[in-house]
């Protein structure tokens, strides 16, 4: 008989709990054995997650019933229902790791763009001409369910043409790409959204070629009416509309038992009726599509004229046309908020899986087939210029909404009803341009080569570390090939780290003559570091005579750096060694920037707070030099030793004194007697 193995107690398994302990420790303050409930809540909310997120509902319910302090065993139980999501949030590994910084940047854009009052309301649909033209809201939802909201983001507005890509996806789900595109094309039209022109296409037959006329693509009205006609064409209008509303509900995170704030899509009957009354062009398109023989639906013509009058007959209205138009007008008249539409866009960005419910709405191929059409045709006859400048799949509607998809990152929706000549939201377009000019989200943004633009997928401190870290490390070890590659990528080889130490400084310090020569040939300028020192003195201090000869030829007067060492023979604490140099550099940038959140995230990843870089500089050195007392106290609480010494034998206290950071200096001085005892 096989002996039963007793399950290991999770709380006693050190290996299993290493990651959880790091997470717990990152939330602690002075007492490493407990965390404050409010700090745990705030850390999750600050990451961009919401307390009504379906995935976190049980966790927040447990937190609400917890005491003010939480011990480790309780922490394990609390996070058990959503442990991986909590881990990503606390370690800064969500889609937007620096959510607070990102939010501040978008806030600044919003405050600027709101001043733009150009454009006109959509007057050809009477209800849309009556909306408040000053409304302006933006919502951003990431593939991890982080949510940014500002302004009128919870105001219902008419979807109008924003429904077109989702209807197209529904048709693709049922029929597949080949069949759908027998009815509608894939080509940009370069025409206005309501143009009556159709695409003439040649079809190869067995014996001869046949010509067919179909709409250019699913994003213009003709294509959208055709797509609407494809959706459950055999069912009644009511069943078809309810089916579409249910699918839209899944896209936006609605569920009957869910806790998320999305509501079931709302149908505005008045808007639909007005579209029917005034949509003569769409009526014409409907009959034009019928004339091609491609509009799907039942075609039951009257067999007998029941009118007995000699001069009259029963005038026949083809139900296939009216059914397609009625459904199209109805779906255009659905109303949602900017947050709900952003969630739908995030579902597309997430390959068809809704971020907050984790339910698959569309399969991956459907999304892949839809996004190129959005990219080429989503903004009507402005699509080419828009994609060149903004570079994101997007769709607008005359109701004032416009959404953008950043694949594998986020969905964005902006609501502002004033439109430009192409029928696109004026403020929406301006916000899109500002976001892509600030962040590396354009589809054709390659490797980061411009230090002025930020990749939102990585934390700011890591982005800064990336911008200089690889070059500095390569320079310090003499890796010419890496530097050549970076130069070919147009990376700036003169950017310094958190101490303004550049690749040239490190190459000189480590005696890398070929690197020094290469950097000078690349036009890299000699610049002073934090202490006013140049690479010349790094070479001189380490007796690298050949490098000194090269630098002497530049005919530059090099000023001597000003380092301060109060107690040259004083107590010295050990600097921790950590294999990931980039993470160490990131920690130092975070300390220099007083980025408490990122420091905690790095602690949650397991990095020692006193890890040192190639100059033996630690986070406490940088926090002290910049006068970041809050960060200094945090590091001390995490047991960062105070007598660590850098390459020049300076302690954090020396740095604070040299930079005249008196508050930090006095605080560190009060700790020294305790430290020695």
Specify whether the CB–CB gap between 569 and 638 falls below 8 A: no
Q: How many CA atoms lie within 13 A of 372 on its CB side?
A: 8
62: domain CATH number is 1.10.238.210
Question: What domain range is 528 assigned to?
Answer: 460-552
- CA-nearest of 352, 362, 378, 11 to 220 is 378
* Residue 474 counted as domain residue: yes
* Residue 37 counted as domain residue: yes
Residues of the chain with pLDDT under 70: 1-16, 188-213, 216, 256-260, 293, 297-306, 308, 313-316, 446-452, 672-677
Q: What is the per-residue pLDDT for 257?
A: 64
Last residue of a domain, one of 55, 71, 90: 90
The answer on 349 and 261 residing in a single domain is yes
* Residue 573 counted as domain residue: no
- How far is residue 80's CA from residue 647's CA, in Å, rounded to a whole number? 45
Last residue of a domain, one of 504, 532, 552: 552
Q: What is the per-residue pLDDT for 258?
A: 63
Specify whether the CB–CB gap between 373 and 185 falls below 8 A: no
**In this structure, what is the dihedral angle of CA atoms 202, 207, 208, 213, given to the nearest 10 degrees?**
-40
| 300-334 tens-digit pLDDT | 655 666 676 777 766 667 778 888 889 999 999 99
* Residue 562 counted as domain residue: no
Q: What is the per-residue pLDDT for 220?
A: 81
The answer on 429 and 284 residing in a single domain is yes
The answer on 329 and 231 residing in a single domain is yes
Q: What is the per-residue pLDDT for 107?
A: 97
| 174-212 tens-digit pLDDT | 999 888 888 887 776 545 555 545 545 545 544 455 656
Q: How many domains does the chain have?
A: 4
The answer on 495 and 585 residing in a single domain is no
420: domain CATH number is 3.40.710.10
Q: What is the per-residue pLDDT for 212?
A: 66
* Residue 132 counted as domain residue: no
Q: What is the per-residue pLDDT for 204?
A: 54
- Long-range residue pairs from 179-183, CB within 8 A, at least 24 positions apart, any chain: 180/227, 180/230, 182/214, 182/294, 183/214, 183/226, 183/227, 183/229, 183/230, 183/294, 183/295, 183/296
The answer on 229 and 285 residing in a single domain is yes
The answer on 354 and 410 residing in a single domain is yes
């Amino acid at each position: 008989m096989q002996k039963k193995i007793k399950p290991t107690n999770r709380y006693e398994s050190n290996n299993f709990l290493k990651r959880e302990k790091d997470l717990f420790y990152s939330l602690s303050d002075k007492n490493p054995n407990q965390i404050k409930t409010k700090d745990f809540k705030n850390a999750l909310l600050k990451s961009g997650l919401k307390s009504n997120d379906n995935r976190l509902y049980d966790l927040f319910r447990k937190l609400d019933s917890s005491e003010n302090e939480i011990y480790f065993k309780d922490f394990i139980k609390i996070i058990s229902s959503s442990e991986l999501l909590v881990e990503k949030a606390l370690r800064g590994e969500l889609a937007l790791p620096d959510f607070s910084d990102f939010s501040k940047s978008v806030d600044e854009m919003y405050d600027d763009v709101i001043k733009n009052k150009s454009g006109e309301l959509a007057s050809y649909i009477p209800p849309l001409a009556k909306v408040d033209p000053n409304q302006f809201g933006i919502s951003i939802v990431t593939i991890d369910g982080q949510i940014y909201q500002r302004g009128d983001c919870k105001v219902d507005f008419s979807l109008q043409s924003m429904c077109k890509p989702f209807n197209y996806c529904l048709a693709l789900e049922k029929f597949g790409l080949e069949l759908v595109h027998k009815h509608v094309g894939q080509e940009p039209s370069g025409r206005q959204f309501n143009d009556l022109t159709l695409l003439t296409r040649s079809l190869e037959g067995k014996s001869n070629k046949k010509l067919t006329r179909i709409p250019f693509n699913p994003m213009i009205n003709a294509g959208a009416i055709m797509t609407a006609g494809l959706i459950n064409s055999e069912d009644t209008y009511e069943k078809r509309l309810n089916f579409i509303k249910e699918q839209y509900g899944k896209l936006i995170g609605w569920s009957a038992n869910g806790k998320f704030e999305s509501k079931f899509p709302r149908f505005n009957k008045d808007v639909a009726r007005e579209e029917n009354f005034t949509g003569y062009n769409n009526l014409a398109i409907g009959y034009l599509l019928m004339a091609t023989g491609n509009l799907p639906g039942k075609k039951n013509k009257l067999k007998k004229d029941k009118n007995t009058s000699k001069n009259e007959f029963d005038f026949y209205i083809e139900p296939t046309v009216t059914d397609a138009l009625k459904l199209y007008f109805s779906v255009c008249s659905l109303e949602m908020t900017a947050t709900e539409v952003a969630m739908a866009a995030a579902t597309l960005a997430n390959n068809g899986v809704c971020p907050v419910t984790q339910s698959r709405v569309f399969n991956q191929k459907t999304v892949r087939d839809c996004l190129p059409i959005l990219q080429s045709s989503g903004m009507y006859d402005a699509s080419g210029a828009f994609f060149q400048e903004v570079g994101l799949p997007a769709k607008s509607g005359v109701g004032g909404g416009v959404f953008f998809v950043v694949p594998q990152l986020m969905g964005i929706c902006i609501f502002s009803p004033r439109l430009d000549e192409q029928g696109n939201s004026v403020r929406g377009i301006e916000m899109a341009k500002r976001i892509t000019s600030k962040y590396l989200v354009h589809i054709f943004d390659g490797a980061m080569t411009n230090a002025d633009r930020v990749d939102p997928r990585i934390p700011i401190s890591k982005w800064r570390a990336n911008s200089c870290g690889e070059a500095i490390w390569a320079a310090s070890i003499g890796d010419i090939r890496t530097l050549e590659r970076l130069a070919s990528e147009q990376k700036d080889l003169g950017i310094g780290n958190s101490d303004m130490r550049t690749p040239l400084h490190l190459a000189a310090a480590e005696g890398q003559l070929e690197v020094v020569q290469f950097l000078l040939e690349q036009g890299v300028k000699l610049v002073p570091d934090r202490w006013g020192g140049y690479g010349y003195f790094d070479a001189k201090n380490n007796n690298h005579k050949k490098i000194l000869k090269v630098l002497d030829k530049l005919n530059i007067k090099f000023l001597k750096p000003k380092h301060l060492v109060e107690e040259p023979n004083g107590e010295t604490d050990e600097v921790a060694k950590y294999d990931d140099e980039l993470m160490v550099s990131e920690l130092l940038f975070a300390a220099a920037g007083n980025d408490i959140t990122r420091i905690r995230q790095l602690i949650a990843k397991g990095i020692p707070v006193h890890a040192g870089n190639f100059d033996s500089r630690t986070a406490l050195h940088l926090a002290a030099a910049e006068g970041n007392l809050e960060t200094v106290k945090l590091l001390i609480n995490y047991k960062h030793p105070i007598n660590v010494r850098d390459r020049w034998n300076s302690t954090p206290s020396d740095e604070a004194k040299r930079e005249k950071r008196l508050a930090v200096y006095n605080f560190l001085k009060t700790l020294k007697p305790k430290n020695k005892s």
